[in-house]
Each structure stands twice: as C-alpha cells, then as structure tokens.
Amino acid sequence: MSYVTGLIRGKTFTIFIILLIVLSQAGFAQNYINPQAMALGDAYSSVAKGYFSVGYNPANLSFPSNYKTYINLAGLNFITTNNFISLKTNAKYGGKDITANGGKLQKELISEIPNKGWRYNSGINIPVPLLNFSTGNKAFTTNFLYITDYYFSKPALEFLFGGMEKDTEYDLDLRCDAMTAIEYAYSMGIPYNNMALGFSLKYIQGLGYYGLDPNRSTGTVSVDTILSGSGNYFFREACGGRGFAIDLGIAFQDLNGWNMGISISNFAALIKWNYNTLFSDIVGTSMLKFMGGQLKSGNPGIDLDFEGESYNYSFLINDVSGEKFFQGDSNFSNSFFSTGVIDTTDTSLFKVRLPLVLRLGLSRQINNDVLLVTDLTASFGDRLNYWKGWRCSFGMEYTYLPSFPLRLGVSFGGLSGWEINLGSGINAGFIHFDWAVGFHRGLWLHTAQGINFSVGAYLTRKVKSLK
C-alpha cells in the first residue's frame, strides 16, 4: 500500500477529504447577476436600467429609460464552475485506480492540474420577489446569497494524489469559504446634464458561515532523504453576522454616440460574524445546519454538528527515511501524528472582507436593432467567488423583434476563465421574462468546466407622455 493511500484510508488528513467532497453540493457573489447581464457576458455596467443597475453602476438610475418603474416578480441565478474538472475529465479518472499500470493515469492527472491549483465555486442568487424595485432615480433591492468557494494548491494536490518527488517542499495551501446572507441595498442616481453620479448603501445580514481562517491555516511537507512536515488548519463557523458596503458610480451618456460607466463595488465591505442581530436570533442555527448538511451529504464521516463550533486540526510528520517512504513501507503510521479539537463554546467575533471590484463599461447603439457593449472588470481579492485579476466582456443585443430580444456574450478572465453566453426574453407589455445560459472553459456540455443559468420576471410602468 502506498504512503498516500494509507494516509487517506487512515483519515490522517481529515480536512483534506472534507474539502475534496464539496462537489456534491451547490452553493454568486461576483455581482448581482441577472438574465440580461449574463446573456451579454456580464458587459452590463453602461446599459443597466432600473434596479438592474444595482451592483453594476447605480449612476445609471439617473438616466431616462423606456420605463419609470421596475418591480421584480421572481428570479433565480445559479453558477457552478471550476478550472479543472469536466464530465470528460470525470469519465477519464472517476472511480479508477490511478496507480495501476505504473501510475500512468496518476501522472496524467497530476500533469493536467493547473499550475495555479484547483478552485471550485458555486453560488445561488435569489432576488426576493417584490422587494427589488425602482422608480425614477431610486432603487431598493433585497437578494438572498448562497456562496461556496474552495481552493487546493497544486502542491497540495500532488501530495494528496501521490505525485511527490525528492528534494521538493510541498506547500499545502487550502482555502474554504461558504456563506449565506441577505443583502439589502438602497441606491440613488444624481443627474447632471449628460453625466450622473450614483451610490448604493448596502447592509448584509449574515445567516451562516463556515470556512478556514486564512491566517491560521497552513501546512508544509518536505521530501528529501527524509520526509518531514507539519500543519495546522482552523475551521470556524458562525450562525449570524452583519456587514456594510458602499458602491459608487459615474456614468456618461452620448459621448460621440457612446455611453460610458465607471463604478467601484464593495468599498469598505466588511462582514462581522458571530455578531448577533434580531434576525439572526430568529433564524438561529437552522441555516448553518442546512449548509453543513449539504457538506455532510457528500461525506457522512464529518463529525461536526454545525451549530457554531470551531475545529482545529493539526498534524506532525516526524523524520521518515526517504528510502522506506518511496518503497511504500506500511509502518509509517508510527511517525504520523494528528489531533482534532472541537470547541463548542467558540463564539468569538471574526471579520471577513469582500474584495473591491472596479468596472469600466462602454456601449454603442449601432442602429435601431443592434446594441454593442463591453466591460473591463478588475477584482482585487480571491475570496467568496471573486477572482483576483482582470476580466474582459463583450456582448450584443439584437432587437429586430422588440418583443423577443436576442442576446449573445463572451468573456475572458475572472472566475469562469472564458465563457460564452446566450439568452433571450419576452416583452409582453408591462410583463417581462428573461433567461440566459452560459458555458465555462468549453463549448459543449461534456467539455465545459462550469455552467451558469438565470431566469427572471418583472413588471414595468412606462413614463407618462406629455401632451
């Protein structure tokens, strides 16, 4: 029996296995995705209207639209994505002994793992019916968020899958965040000629959280003439919390035929967990238990109640002969030590920051039927479904049949790597229905490494014409 196989079967690195099974659950925080924005590849900051402007550019509330009032009836926005696994990958490696035939599949698997490591994200965003609306230059929005974000560094996966080499130190970098929350926002646009300013004041009601504390979760293993290593991972939970954030925007209309928008989202965004509020006292541990139940459904061996406790896991590998290690000696258990301590009384307050997001958008109405849009987005953090770096998006809306608009979009960078999106809608007087679907890092269902889907319905009221 190889060292890694024995390590896994012996449940020495329990936290590794807990996180590895997360594909059994679904948990969007990159923005307030909606069907129109999704279909346009998220290139939406210069064309969003009504309450759809919130999360993209609140300054757009200042500009006239075909409708004075927007009221949400229902909606669902879903994403699941990663940068490695697809149905094709699963068919190749799933359920197979990767160490057979001299470890041929094992070597192929390790070579295909991205150098930046493996990251898995999922999310659900549900706009609460009737509590997302706008009239004139003001909007009020209420969204339920369920977010999961997991990361394994490539060295950690190489170690886990037995792809170790001599004279190498393996950094066992792991990240884990899962959160449910309700986010309320009051937004307003302030017009000035063809320019406008806007802001959103956001209150975040935390319902449940679990994750690894990034400042207290590290581990390394060195493989040389001897094998040695140590690590500590602090897993914490919270049943309630609250936070605040500000979005700011500026927009311009008709700059030589172009519309432009610039916005900053999540300015000073911070959530304090284990902070009791009246709402969290009413909800209690029910939401956290639901989140934990989703995680435990893929790994029933998890011995956590998800009632707000913390779990501290540590391991130590004493010096082991490298010769015996690479020969797969079965007596390694005498040299490996691990402890796991559950603290059911840990109610200490801790903070989670939401990454800052910068957007620059341009759009142009080519003719009566064709609208072209583009956005350049930068995220300044790698947490809670935000991906640090730049993202470029392009979209087109075709309205030859105004009651049945067609939308296409592509984007490069960010959480989904690259994606292609399409969508449409039905505009039946004051009732509107939109849908969109997108594929990540693949054009076909079996090669795609992620998918997003969005549907929504809303009511509108037109601006009264002057006679």
Residue 108, in any domain of the structure: no
pLDDT at position 101 is 83
DSSP state of 456: E
Q: Would you say 79 and 28 are in contact if contact means Cβ atoms under 8 Å apart?
A: yes
**SS (HEC) of 340-397:** EEEECCCCCCEEEECCCEEEEEEEEECCCCEEEEEEEEEECCCCCCCCCEEEEEEEEE
Please name the residues in contact with 323: beta carbons below 8 A apart, sequence gap of 6 or more: none
User: Phi and psi for 98 in degrees, rounded to 5?
Assistant: -75, -10
Residue 152, in any domain of the structure: yes
**Positive or negative, the Cα torsion across 326, 330, 332, 333?**
positive
Closest alpha carbon to 427 in 394, 448, 402? 402
Q: Would you say 432 and 426 are in contact if contact means Cβ atoms under 8 Å apart?
A: yes
Closest alpha carbon to 59 in 244, 237, 230, 188? 188
Each as own residue / partner, the long-range contacts of residues 374-381 (CB below 8 Å, 24 or more positions apart, any chain) are 374/43, 375/42, 375/43, 375/44, 375/45, 375/46, 377/42, 377/414, 379/30, 379/355, 379/414, 380/355, 380/356, 381/353, 381/354, 381/355, 381/356
Per DSSP, the three-state class of 60 is: helix
Residue 292, in any domain of the structure: yes
| Distance (Å) of CA 104 to CA 88, 110, 162, 328, 463 | 18, 10, 12, 18, 67
Helix (H) or strand (E) holding 42: none
Query: DSSP for 322-334?
Result: HHHHHTT-TTGGG
**SS (HEC) of 217-237:** CEEEEEECCEEEEEEEEEEEE
Amino acid making up residue 249: G
The C-alpha angle with vertex 147 and arms to 144 and 148, in degrees rounded to 5, equals 160
| Distance (Å) of CA 56 to CA 45, 68, 200, 315, 418 | 5, 19, 10, 45, 20
Range of the domain at 321: 3-68+119-376
Residue 132, in any domain of the structure: yes
Q: Would you say 359 and 377 are in contact if contact means Cβ atoms under 8 Å apart?
A: yes
Residue 398, in any domain of the structure: no
Closest alpha carbon to 113 in 166, 151, 168? 151
Q: Answer yes or no: pTM beyond 0.75.
A: yes
Q: What count of Cα atoms within 13 Å lies in the side-chain half-sphere of residue 253?
A: 17
Per DSSP, the three-state class of 267 is: strand
pLDDT at position 294 is 84
pLDDT at position 464 is 66
pLDDT at position 23 is 40
Helix (H) or strand (E) holding 296: helix 286-296
Residue 73, in any domain of the structure: no
Give pLDDT < 70 ranges for the chain: 1-32, 321-334, 464-467
Q: Would you say 58 and 199 are in contact if contact means Cβ atoms under 8 Å apart?
A: yes
Q: How many residues does the chain have?
A: 467
pLDDT (tens digit per residue) in 58-102:
999 999 888 999 999 999 999 999 999 999 998 888 888 887 887
Q: Is 93 left (phi over 0), alpha (psi -120 to 50) or beta?
A: alpha
Q: Would you say 341 and 364 are in contact if contact means Cβ atoms under 8 Å apart?
A: no
CA–chain centroid gap for 266, Å, is 15
pLDDT at position 299 is 73
DSSP state of 23: G
Total domain count, the chain = 1
Closest alpha carbon to 361 in 28, 17, 41, 23? 41
- Which is it for strands 258-273 and 241-255: parallel, antiparallel or unpaired? antiparallel
pLDDT (tens digit per residue) in 330-382:
556 667 788 989 998 888 999 999 999 999 999 999 999 999 999 999 999 98
Closest alpha carbon to 164 in 116, 97, 222? 222
